Structure 1
Amino acid sequence: MADEHEPRTSWTFLTQHARVLLMISRDPQVRVRDLAASCGVTERAVQAIITDLESAGYLTRTRHGRRNHYRVTDHTHFRHPAEARHEIAGFLELFADLSPPPGAEGNHGTRPGGRHERNDRS
């Protein structure tokens, strides 16, 4: 008999898209390999998520030598109609002070106080 206090499934509040976007906002030069390891998904899944986020206007990706550099567009709004009046900037700010997950490397792009440079399109 299962404990009635155990969850039925292993769901979480944040989607993989949200996790990837948060990690990119913390480190604009993060590698796909590191994103995949921290999120517990494949590199191919992370590449698809980045493509989704880029296509939807949440971030831009530019090549710097052999590395990608990402810029998060803070003033984009959530996609779901229930949250569509809210910009993602508030969501990113809510999680900005959290330390990166175990195994995440570096702190490129960090501002003093743990905040990261983002593309603040006005």
Structure 2
Amino acid sequence: MAKITFTSDNKQIQCKQSETILQVAIRESLEVRHKCGGKGSCTTCKIKVIGQSQGKVSSPTQIEHKLLGEIQLENGYRLACQTKALEGDIYIERIEDPLKALIRRQLEANKNENKNEI
């Protein structure tokens, strides 16, 4: 059995070897974007497997090679719908939705501007 830590949430979850990272996230109500229902055709469920954890998950699928390319795979990026936890402690970083990231950065900038005006 594997233990997945979602670093952005600091949440640790036990999972079975047959489960994909996406299935685990959905089961635990963690937000991992996905549009294609886990078929590996949209790339919206992209995650990052951190450091030594890369050797503790399933090998990249042909779909991942095609959609992500070698450079992203070498840097730990994977599709949550295609990646299965194998064993041990695995650290995953969820990739923030680009629109939400833009809004968050704008809100932070506005907050900083308001502090400087006071």
Query: Structure 1 length normalisation: TM-score?
Result: 0.25
Q: Higher helix proportion, which one?
A: 2
TM-score, structure 2 as length reference: 0.26
Larger RCO (CA within 8 A; separation ≥ 6): 2
